[in-house]
Structure 1
Amino acid sequence: MRSSKPLARGKGFTLDLVTCADDHRGWSRPEVGRAHRMVLVHRGAFRRMADGRKAAVDPTMAYLGAPGEEERFAHPAGGDVCTSLSLSPALWRTLAGDATRLARSTVYVDARLELAHRRLLATARAGDPDFALVESLLSLTGATLAQLAGPATPAAADGAAGAAGARRPAPSPARSTAAIADAAREAISADHPAAAGLLPLAELLAVSPYRLSRAFTRELGVSLTHYRNRVRVSRALDRLESGETGLAALAADLGFADQAHLTRTIRRHVGHTPTVLRRLLASPAPLGRVDFGSPAAVSSPNA
């Protein structure tokens, strides 16, 4: 018996927690994969047969599935719990590149890859699928595909395909990291529609998501997610200073997942909750008109 619990959804990807309670040594009936999938095991172990090739899968060994691939599974050790990351064909091309050839479908999960997996799950719980989750996704898929790819690694595909349903941007290898970072900052500052997510922003700038993320961090010393949140925090401070009281509406207006996400982000950047900030930013009550040119005003102990 297999059940799936959705953890996050984004443009071109889904993240699910899959639990399998099967306990059988024989192979299951064949099923055909419908998407590019990366499956990492939390606990348990099982066997997978894909297009006639067998592999043992456990917390130290992940696998990638492809659309149209015939799969069978066996669970001689009992059940298992896995993370399943499904990617649309367009997003797969964006991350892996058209020319990437996978030497195999399984990949050894070293400590760094396990950390990337755990960070992806932590980010999914934080509720920012368009920036923070995508950056974690890039870290995980980049590390995985680098092991599975042939001579060309996905991180080198700076002119990769665009997001789902969109025209592929032309590669621009001559652009400097500073120019890319500047263009990204301008789009975020101008509230360009593409700046609502890392993937559409990369498409707008005609660079791969990998290159955009690396270039931004290299130039500013902070991640693109951190910078975008910094801009949103500044806008939140403007609203709080103006007397904004509806935090749920403020969160929605600024693109946060919910009020809790807004509060966590503001506290992380400023060190205070929105409620405290509203009090700190409130204009003091007028004390009456003071003539700073008069002797009385200068000699007053309250001046």
Structure 2
Amino acid sequence: MHAAGLDVFEGRCGLDRTGFTPPSYESVHRLTLIRSGAFLVRVNGQESFVDCGAAVFTHPGDELRLAHPLGCGDTFTTVEFASQVLAGREGEWGLSVHRLPLDDDLDLLHRTLVAASRRGVDAFAVVDQMHGLLDRLLTAPGSRAVGVYGAWTPRRRETLVAHRRLADRAREALAAGQYTVGLDELAALVSTSPHHLSRVFRQVTGETLTAYRNRLRVRAVLSDLQDGAGNLRTLAARHGFADQAHLTRVVRRQLGHLPSEVRRMLAAPG
């Protein structure tokens, strides 16, 4: 879809490559919002693990390399926008930050915009809402953080790098579908103690492991609902919820809507 300085695309990655691609160079301002899956990205040499809890923001001239240690197939929405959209706002939007947190409200707004576009609603309305999403995403506190993960910084650079890597390994394990493992098992998967993992993950990301895991599980449910899945009991078992009632409670707590309401919001074209 093209309108008002924005080009919006839906995509599914077919690049099955565990190692990093050769470098490519961005020619436009691009925001990529992840709907499912996960991958590694290096922007100008800075490496980040990106999953459905994040967006990637790049600019003309940025060197970009990608890897898919969990395999291909991730789905995403890409927004390319003209330079005039950013005119006078570079300081406001903190353009040096490339990995941006995607909170629950913005994720649901993103998905409902995708659903509206599929239904063929007024492009003006969709683009207007997309500009609103951009404003909210790029002016969020996390978008102004120093570096990728936030303003918290250990005293030694080596410690910061090690903590980032540990948080990324935990993210990768959970993004691979390890929603049912306990904290002890997750810590064993990333070769550390449960206490150290819990503390470092919270310091690096600004949220607890429990909150992060719940967010991933809810977004996996949203992706399945958007793809036409309808049986909530099956979805609960697939994504590690105790039962359908547990899934309903978590979705309502995270999104402020019941799964049945979310299903209608994300309904495919009739």
**TM-score of the superposition, structure 2-length normalised?**
0.49
**Bigger relative contact order, structure 1 or 2 (CA pairs below 8 A, ≥6 apart):** 2
**TM-score of the superposition, structure 1-length normalised?**
0.44
